Amino acid sequence: MSGRVVGLGEALVRLSPPGMGRLEAATQLQVEVGGAELNALIAARRCGMEARWLTRIADNPLGRRVAAHAGTHGVEAQVQWEPGARAPVYFVEHGVEPRPTRVLYDRSQSAMVGLDAGSFDFAAPLEGADAVLCSGITCGLGDGPTRAVRELFGAARAGAVRTFFDVNHRAALWAPGAAAAALLPLARRADLVFVGLDEAECLWHTATADDVRALLPEPTTLVVKDGDVGATEYRRAAGADHRTFAPAIPTEVVEAVGAGDAFAAGYLAALLQGADAAARLQGGHQRAHLVLQSTSDFVADNV
C-alpha cells in the first residue's frame, strides 16, 4: 500500500435509466451508489492506497446497500447508523450530444444533514493516516456538516495529517451566494486544494489559474483544473511558489460525472509515492481519463 487516506462525506443511491434513456420515459432504473468522497476513496484503493470512509447512513435497506458498496470496493467504512433518517437518492439522466447529463437530488433529511462538530471522535480514525479528504459537497448539506469539516481539519492538523479539500461546488445545494463565503475559508485552511477553473469563476469571479492562486495563497499546494485543457499545480517549497502545467489526455468523453473525484485520487496516490509535479498531475489525468470514457462514477481497473 502506498498510503492511507481517510474521507468524510455522504454517499447516495443512484438511479438512472438504462443507456441514454430519459427519466420521464423510463420504465426501469439501474441502481448504483455514488458520492464524491466515496468515489475518490474507491479510486484511491484502485491506486493502491488504504482507504477509510467516515459517514452517517440511514439504518434501512438502502443505507445498508450504500455501506455494502464501500466494502465491496475495499473501503473500510466507519458508519454511524441513524434510525429514522432518509437514505439520500439522486437521479441521473446520462447525457448524449447535444443533451447534457442531468442530475436531480433528493437528499433532504438524510442522516448526514444531522452531522455536526462532535458527531465523530476524529482522533481514532485518523491514527496512522497520511491524508484526510473532504469536499464542498459535505459543507453544502448545512451548517452542522460544515462545522464537522472544520473539526476534522483541526484534528488532522493536530495529528500532523495532511488535509485535502476538493471545492466540488454544487449550486443546487446552496442558497444563492452562500457557497462562496462558506467554501473560501475552508479552502484556505487546507494543505492541498483542488478546484475547477469554472467553479472558481462561478464562486469567486476569478478568470485565470493565477487569479485563483492569488485568492488562495495559504495552501501549500493548489491544483486548478481546466477541463479538457489541463491542470495547473502551484506548490510552495523553499520559500517560493512553483507552477507546473500538464495538459489533459485527449478523450472521447462519454460522461464527466466522477472524473474530478478520480483525478483527486490519482494525484494523491502519486503525491504520497513521492512523484514530482508533472507525474502527480499525470496521475490525476490518467484516472480521470478512464472515468470520462464510461457512465460509471469510478473504474475498477488499475491504471
- Which structural domains are found in the chain, ordered by start? 4-8+35-86+117-292 (3.40.1190.20)
Q: What is the pLDDT of residues 8-24, one digit of tens each?
A: 999 999 999 988 788 99
Q: Is the peptide bond before 185 cis (omega within 30 degrees of 0)?
A: no
Active site amino acids: 261
Percent of the chain with pLDDT over 70: 96
The pTM score is 0.92
What is the predicted pLDDT for the residue at 297? 66
- C-alpha cell read off for 168: 466540488
Relative to beta strand 230-237, strand 240-247 is antiparallel
Q: What is the pLDDT of residues 242-252, one digit of tens each?
A: 999 999 999 88
Backbone angles phi, psi at 107, to 5 degrees: -130, 10
